[in-house]
Amino acid sequence: MKSVLIRNVRRLDPQAGTDASGDLAFRDGVIVDAASGPFDEVIDGSGLWLMPGIVDLCARTRDPGATQKGTMRSESNAAFAAGITALCLPPDTKPVIDNTAVVIRVNRIAKAAGGAYVYMLGALTKGLEGDALAEISALKSAGCVGVTNGLAPVANALVARRALEYAASLGMTVHVVPLDAALANNGCAHEGAVATRLGLASIPVAAEAVAMRQWISLVEDTGARVHFGRLSSARGVELLAAAKARGLPISADVAAHQLFLTDAALEGFNAMAHVLPPLRSAADREALRDAVGSGLIEAICSDHQPHERDAKTNPLPLTEPGISALETLLPLGLQLVEQGLLSPLTLASRLVRGPAQVLGLPARGLAVGAPADLCLIDPSQEWRLQAAQMNSVGRNTPFIGTRFPGRATRVWRG
């Protein structure tokens, strides 16, 4: 492997908590002393930012099982080109990641694909059916970094409690997307004026709050670690803050699109803005932004869900939810910096340090001896997202045509 020296670059190291200009070099996939040349390539980093590669807490590659929407090769390479060097896959593949054979199969596909590193969450229940617990111990031994039932409901509180007890005995984090299925009632929009005007079945904020309250109560009883994924509401933020104030082992993330869009994006029956949990009110969005800024929410993820064109062309309630979001994760983050919500170092923390801690991955920093998983960013390279230029198979995003203030220009993985 070649060696590289990057001179005069702004180094954003969320692990060390430092933001300072200087040189950084790596050789054979490891960061080395910048004075240990010669180097095969020298890059002028003036005006550029360098941080560890992004860790995305939730991204679907659709492989195996739905390769008309995307493949491991297409999506992991799209992630890598966008500055993401590690992806975490939820278990809702086909077949479901609920046994070691599927873990081995997905690892084999990921290794052949290249691109970003791939980590997996195992299924909390067999087949994600919500009743019988999966073999969480075997999934951990096979390399899963957590367990979840995703958007599939757990049958009842007793199953949830037993799952937490099982996971806690193994030191595994349970990832929860808090959305009560009965209250959600197959809705497709936030309960509010937009849904009423468009005649869309709605999902109340209570669907998130009720689910969170149940899981928080069970954490109090079991001491298990729970990560709430894809929060969408101000009430969810309040419940998170109260639980953390009591010292409970709880963390949370938010999808980047929830920090920018509201249910108003559904106007005109825009299926590109159909997501679960739904886009909510401006007040909810502001509460989420404040929580990310304060660190109450530790991580921002893409919640990447690529779809083929047909999946978004039916009447809105019949379309499949989700956004192709790998290629907008960092650019939306850079908009948060441009808008003054986050500092560059804090953005690096929300995209790298926070997600890595949730998954229990080794610390990612810029110290000598660390793996050279790196993302070089030009914060002044303005561009617009065009569907034809996307690397993901999925072009389903409401951000087509959006102007972004910067992007990843070079990415290295180990």
Give one DSSP letter per residue of 372-399, joined into a string: --EEEEETT--EE--GGG-SSS----TT
Identify whether 44 is a catalytic site residue.
Answer: no
Q: What are phi and psi of 161, to 5 degrees?
A: -65, -45
And the tokens for 382?
């303005």
Contact of 329 with 53, CB cutoff 8 Å:
no
Angle 326-338/72-81 helices, nearest 10 degrees? Answer: 20
For 3, counting Cβ atoms within 10 Å of its Cβ (0-12 exposed, 13-18 middle, 19+ buried), the class is middle
End-to-end Cα, the chain, rounded Å: 10
Residues whose CB falls within 8 Å of the CB of residue 187, separated by 6 or more in sequence, listed in order: 195, 200, 201, 202, 203, 278
Catalytic residue among 13, 63, 253, 303: 303
Provide the β-strand partners of residue 383: 404
Contact of 124 with 148, CB cutoff 8 Å:
yes
User: How far out from the chain centre does Cα 327 lie?
Assistant: 12
Euclidean distance between CA atoms 344 and 337, whole angstroms: 6
Q: Is the dihedral of CA 177, 182, 188, 190 positive or negative?
A: negative
CA dihedral 227, 233, 254, 122 (to 10 degrees): 40
Q: Which residues carry out catalysis?
A: 303
